[in-house]
Amino acid sequence: MSELNLVLLGPPGSGKGTQGERLQEDFRLPYYATGDILRAAVRDESELGKAAKEYMDRGDLVPDEVIIGVITERLDEPEAADGFILDGFPRTIPQAEALDSELEKLGRALTAAILVQVTDEEIVRRLGGRRTCAKNGHVFHVQFDPPKEPGVCDIDGSRLLVRDDDQPDVIRHRLEEYREKTEPLIDYYDSKGLLRRVDGSASPDEVGDRIRALLATLRIEEDIDV
């Protein structure tokens, strides 16, 4: 079977994290969310992990070459031999180019960049409906997962709040930021013929089905090429 080397793209609230986890289960591929990968490297005290920790301890952004090093290290592990799912990386064109050249050194290439698309209105509805327990951070949703009593945590009875991150104007700002940073990346993968768009507005199950159908098509195309 051929490799399935995937990058997931999508705005906050698109549900791409959920889809990444499903792909991980369905295809038995490692799922690498950038934050997790950095924390794992720090915990394992690899050389790059130690370098990353110095930046994180100072509250600085971990520079590209360290992140790229940490990710490349993982992609070269046996667990990623049949493929991988990257989420949160690359974020910029230089990172995307670095990923391409590192993969090339390993004799590999990306299979696809999957963009989970959701309208701004839907994202505001999804993220804006979240209510977080003040005491223990339990998360509810006024529409999708409402607490038994409005404004009160089912688990510990604490007050439910709208986190700063989930305020509508903050959500819109995050979306603008996302667009500014990610739009060029979308064009980059589109120009390479790697971009696949998936409508993320449906239920997580339906979106998952669409992604699986898309990957099946990719494999058929690949077989025909052979």
Q: Which residues in this chain contact Zn ion in the complex, by CB under 5 A?
A: 133, 136, 138, 153, 155-156, 158
Length of the chain, in residues: 226
Query: Rounded CA gap, 18 and 203, in Å?
Result: 11
Catalytic option among 22, 108, 130, 210: 130
Q: Is the CB of residue 12 less than 8 Å from the CB of residue 178?
A: yes
39 classed as catalytic: no
Return left, alpha or beta for 207; rule: phi > 0 is left, psi -120 to 50 is alpha, else beta: alpha
Q: Quick one: 101 or 136, whose CB is closer to Zn ion? A: 136
Residue number with CB closer to Zn ion (155 or 220): 155
Verify whether residue 174 is a known catalytic residue. Answer: yes
Tokens of 192: 């390479």
Cα 169 to Cα 176: distance, rounded to the nearest angstrom: 11
Residue of this chain nearest to Zn ion (CB atom): 133
Pick between residue 104 and residue 156 the one whose CB is nearest to Zn ion: 156
Shortest Cβ 129–Zn ion spacing (Å): 17
Alpha carbons 106 and 71: distance in angstroms, whole number:
13
* Cβ at position 174, least distance to Zn ion in Å: 24
User: Among 91, 172, 197, 219, which one carries the catalytic annotation?
Assistant: 91
d(CA 96, CA 94): 5
Q: Which two tokens stand for residue 120?
A: 């701004």
Residue type, 114: I
b/e sequence 131-156, b meaning 16+ C-beta within 10 Å:
bbbeeeebebebeeeebeeeebbeee
Catalytic residue among 39, 163, 172, 219: 163
Q: Give the shortest CB-164-to-Zn ion separation in angstroms.
A: 18
210 part of the active site: no
Which residues does 103 contact at the CB level (< 8 Å), separation at least 6? 5, 75, 109, 110
Identity of the residue, 74 or 130, whose beta carbon is nearer to Zn ion in the bound complex: 130
Select 39 or 138, whichever has its Cβ closest to Zn ion: 138
Nearest approach, Cβ of residue 39 and Zn ion (Å): 24
Rounded Cα distance between 77 and 86, Å, is 14
| Minimum separation from the CB atom of position 137 to Zn ion (A) | 7
Q: Which residues pair with 90 in a beta bridge?
A: none
Which residues are identified as catalytic? 16, 91, 130, 163, 174
